[in-house]
A and B are shown apart, each in its own frame.
Chain A
């Protein structure tokens, strides 16, 4: 088995001795990441020899499972500066978000009914808040500034004596923008409000410390950090303040009553190992990835005009690049670089033709939102891959601009904003 894993490692690391790249190239690591071979190796015994139910207290099979779970709990806690008892395992970040928000809403109903979030949150947060509105909760959706960051003064003004929860993400899944969570946490603690952060895209990529950053609830996902899909965690602060949650899944009372259901032991072991690797390699990896990301940006922007970066450049994940290529529609661009996996903020596939709500919230025009591409670099991307992707993007954008009536009109000096468009 060890040899198999080694072979896998060689296959996933795309450094080819002859400098050529292996196609297709995966550069959509905000959507998901491949499981690191070291993570897989950690998980495998829990499918076979160590298959026991972690809740079986009477035999060695159960103890083996429990040991795997508790090791993982310690590793995750270490990654975010928490204690193991503060980690609750879930099926992923969507469940963690639901548990955090609905759990607080129900538990603190007598204290208040007001929740504050931001318009650029993930749907797992926004739609959970929308559901609570149906049950009589009041939700404030804070706008964001042009750079994608929430304004702390807006937040301060929004908090009132009925506010029980503020939920603001650590890093945005589309534009990679890092919200000022430490400052938000501080403000919440001063006002006696619980602070939840969806840190799905941030944990394992940038330092997260629940004490230093004043976090009360943190959603974590394994598959965004080279762990398996279908497993995640929620950090629940135990002191100053002690946060209590009503469970959203009832049953056997697992996870100290906060999340019933037999634990996904192999998945949890994988999440634990993924956390340990991130803890060890994060500082080096973020330097390497921001270098690659900058190289990608520079190679694209030095060869094309009218290319715009979406969101703050300064407060951003080292892995993320989100850019709009004016006069070129995102989906057609993806089609032209079909041996590269990235994603587009254009939603031409939907009936509404609505582009990314995140980009719209930044004040990006719909036209530029339709022209956006998200690059998500990851652990297994190489410099050769970055160069290949940049060159493919440049040549495809050039070709599509030759095909674009908008580019032609813009070059003729026509102000596209002044044109009266005959929409369908």
Chain B
């Protein structure tokens, strides 16, 4: 299989590789995929609770070159976006940007899932801090 130049660039120079403290209340972690399927992505975001802006993002990926590129690109795109803006990122945009062939579309789906999972985790942490007292009344 031949890869697009953008995939090769992300594979050779992955952006934002690393890990953040998953226990921090400002950090949301998304872990998607499964080793048996040949793809696991961990995407983390650090969100400013005042502005809801994603100030930092990190990833680590086990998977093919397209999976690495999709998650690397996802971290680039979510940085500086608000939570709502990041949720609007569609896998089809990743496909287009990286010129992924049909057999690699699942890599972009997984990257979108990773963004959503990370945001979901962060929201849960915020909810735990703010929503719980409300629920306690019920």
Asked if B109 contacts A424 (CB within 8 A), the reply is yes
Give every chain A residue within 8 A of B37 (Cβ-Cβ). Answer: 353, 366, 423-424
Q: Is A161 an interface residue (CB 8 A)?
A: no
Inter-chain CA distance A336–B8, complex, in Å, is 10
Using known A-B contacts A332-B63, A346-B38, A424-B106, determine if residue A403 contacts B68 with beta carbons closer than 8 Å: yes
Using known A-B contacts A329-B39, A403-B14, determine if residue A348 contacts B32 with beta carbons closer than 8 Å: no
Find the residue from B35, B40, B41 having the highest chain A CB count within 10 A.
Answer: B35
- Among B11, B35, B64, B113, the residue within 8 A (CB) of A348 is B64
> Quick check: which of A32-40, A255-263, A404-412 contacts chain B, the rest being far away?
A404-412
Asked if B60 contacts A421 (CB within 8 A), the reply is no
Inter-chain CA distance A353–B62, complex, in Å, is 14
Chain A interface residue number, banded: 20 to 34
Q: Is A293 an interface residue (CB 8 A)?
A: no
Q: Is A422 an interface residue (CB 8 A)?
A: yes
Closest residue of chain B to A423 (Cβ to Cβ) is B34
Interface residues of B in 62-111 (CB under 8 A from A): 62-65, 67-68, 103-104, 106, 109-110
Using known A-B contacts A367-B35, A421-B34, A424-B113, determine if residue A331 contacts B62 with beta carbons closer than 8 Å: no
Give every chain A residue within 8 A of B8 (Cβ-Cβ). Answer: 335
Q: Is A119 an interface residue (CB 8 A)?
A: no
Inter-chain CA distance A244–B42, complex, in Å, is 60
From DSSP, what is the main secondary structure of chain B's interface residues?
mixed
Asked if B36 contacts A348 (CB within 8 A), the reply is no
Asked if A424 contacts B1 (CB within 8 A), the reply is no
Closest residue of chain B to A349 (Cβ to Cβ) is B103
Inter-chain CA distance A350–B37, complex, in Å, is 11
Give every chain B residue within 8 A of A336 (Cβ-Cβ). Answer: 11
Q: Is A365 an interface residue (CB 8 A)?
A: yes
B43 to chain A, nearest CB (A): 9
Inter-chain CA distance A406–B39, complex, in Å, is 10
Inter-chain CA distance A403–B65, complex, in Å, is 12
Closest residue of chain B to A421 (Cβ to Cβ) is B34
- Among A346, A403, A422, A424, the residue within 8 A (CB) of B61 is A403
Inter-chain CA distance A404–B35, complex, in Å, is 11
Q: Is A351 an interface residue (CB 8 A)?
A: yes
- Among A331, A365, A422, the residue within 8 A (CB) of B36 is A365
- What are 12 pairs between A and B in contact, CB < 8 Å? A327-B62, A335-B64, A346-B64, A403-B17, A405-B31, A406-B35, A406-B40, A421-B40, A422-B34, A422-B113, A423-B33, A424-B113
Residues of B within 8 A of A (CB): 1, 3, 8, 11, 14, 17, 19, 31-42, 60-65, 67-68, 103-104, 106, 109-110, 113, 117
